[in-house]
Amino acid sequence: MRVRELAEWLGATFEGDGEKELTAVAPLESAGAGDVAFVGTRKAAAAAESSSAGCLIVPMEWPSHSYHTVIRAVEPRTAFARAMNRFYPTVELAPGVHPTAVVGKDVEMGALVYIGPHAVVGDATRIGVAAAIHAGCVVGKRVSLGEGCVLHPNVTVYDNVDIGRGSVLHSGCVIGADGFGYVMEHERWHKFPQVGRVEIADFVEIGANSCVDRAALGVTSIGEGTKLDNMVHVGHNCRIGKHVVVAAQTGFSGGVVVEDYAVIGGQVGIGDKARIESRAVLGSGCGVLTSKIVRSGQTMWGTPARPLKQHLEQLANMAHVPEMRKEMLDMKRRLADLEREI
């Protein structure tokens, strides 16, 4: 593909050699003459001058005197992601049901559906147009899979789950397992029946080995465009809003509400019935206590989670503790010397 063609496809402008042939995408530091790279940060901008990339996707304000061939984009990283899709298109699957797959009764199946080897689809399930169920998946009864939905190998979807169009579930996901609900009676734990549902909206992506539990009563829901990393656990009756991003190994206890556009780092723990308001940010490893409300737009860190500025001040104070302890011991020694003199 030539630089000119890529720029036109991205809806962007270029400067330099528009006829240069491009064959792949690559990181800035290792890109060669036939590669496209992007400049998305100040650090990357500093390294760009020494890059051998054949073409750079750069911000709009990039200096015009650059000796590189460049494509200007409002969001270079986003444009680069689109370019990657052009160079590495998704492999087209031949529609059809593999002979080893097991499909139950009254299954509604749209056109161009793919069901892979040893997959199982339960009774009365609906599968949308061009959906793909890969090898070893188990899809329960009365499940709804939207148009273009993709279940990678060995995904398990329990009964009565709705998954929207364009959503992607990576290998090992378990959707709709029982929530962690028990009641104590006569000194023994007894299971509280988990009879609710799971609803996953359009264009959600859920990483490998993540779990979304069904509600005890009602619905556990994940909103449109939300992205969950690997090994994320969403407990029963949680409500995750639209376009939320959650990094790996984060756990949501039962009844947590996360509003739209929140950003949650890795290894975050969130207690029962906590509320994370819209566009709040939870830093990696922080802990949100039960019923805590994190206000809209706040950035929180630490355990228990507290505003970032307060967290940094406390860290700075902690750094002085050894010095303070030394001073305290010195003061005690001097006081003891004074007492002996008296």
| Contact between 114 and 135 (Cβ < 8 Å) | no
DSSP 115-162: E-TT-EE-TT-EE-TT-EE-TT-EE-TT-EE-TT-EE-TT-EE-SSEE
66 falls in which pLDDT band (50, 70, 90)?
A: low
User: How far are the Cα atoms of 39, 45, 53 from residue 216, in angstroms, in the given order?
Assistant: 48, 51, 54
Return all residues near 178 (Cβ < 8 A) that are at least 6 apart.
191, 194, 213, 214, 236
Residue 27 neighbours by CB under 8 Å, 6+ apart: 37
How many other CB atoms are found less than 10 A from the CB of residue 161? 23
CA 258/CA 271 separation, integer angstroms? 12
Q: How far apart are the first and last CA of the chain?
A: 91
Q: Give me the chain's average pLDDT, please.
A: 93
Q: How confident is the model at residue 333 (pLDDT cuts 50, 70, 90)?
A: confident
pLDDT at 322: 86
Residues forming the active site: 236
Task: Dump pLDDT digits (tens) for 224-253.
Answer: 999 999 999 999 999 999 999 999 999 999
For the segment 282-332, what is each residue's pLDDT rounded down to a tens digit? 999 999 999 999 999 999 999 999 988 888 788 787 888 888 888 888 888
Which of 84-93, 143-152, 230-239 bottoms out in mean pLDDT, i.e. has the lowest? Answer: 84-93
Which class is 96-309 in CATH?
mainly beta
Please tell me the predicted confidence (pLDDT) of residue 230. Answer: 98
More confident residue, 63 or 188: 188
- The model's confidence at residue 168, banded by pLDDT at 50, 70 and 90, is very high
Q: Say whether pLDDT at 256 is over 90.
A: yes
Give me 73's structure tokens: 């984009």
Q: What percent of the chain has pLDDT over 70?
A: 99
Q: CA–CA separation, 196 vs 237, rounded Å?
A: 8
Q: How far is CA 262 from the centre of its chain?
A: 11
Judge whether 270 and 288 are in contact, CB under 8 Å: yes
Q: Which pLDDT score, from 0 to 100, does residue 68 have?
A: 84
Higher pLDDT, 40 or 23: 23
- Tell me: pLDDT of 128 over 70: yes
What's the one-letter identity of residue 210? S
pTM: 0.83
**CATH number corresponding to 3-87:** 3.40.1390.10
**Phi and psi at residue 220, in whole multiples of 5°?**
-95, 125
Q: What is the C-alpha to C-alpha distance for residues 198 and 233, in angstroms, rounded to an integer?
A: 13
The closest alpha carbon to 299, from 289, 291, 288, 290, belongs to 288
**What is the distance, to the nearest Å, from the Cα of residue 87 to the centroid of all Cα atoms in its chain?**
24
Residue 290 CA, chain-centre distance (Å), reads 23
| Alpha carbon distances (Å) from 166 to 97, 147, 148, 150, 260 | 20, 6, 5, 7, 19
- Checking if the pLDDT of 101 tops 90, the result is yes
CA pair distance 124, 283, nearest whole angstrom: 42
Q: Residue 85: its pLDDT value, please?
A: 86
Q: How far apart are CA 6 and CA 35, in angstroms?
A: 12
Confidence of residue 109 (pLDDT cuts 50, 70, 90): very high
- Helices 321-341 and 308-319: crossing angle in degrees, nearest 10, is 40
54 pLDDT above the threshold of 80: yes
State the Cα–Cα distance between residues 93 and 186, nearest whole angstrom. Answer: 55
Q: Which residue ranges make up each domain of the chain?
A: 3-87, 96-309, 313-341
In angstroms, the CA 278 to CA 263 distance is 9
Which amino acid, 294? V
Q: Quick one: average pLDDT of 159-166?
A: 97
Instruction: Kindly report the number of other CB atoms within 10 A of residue 181's CB atom.
Output: 17
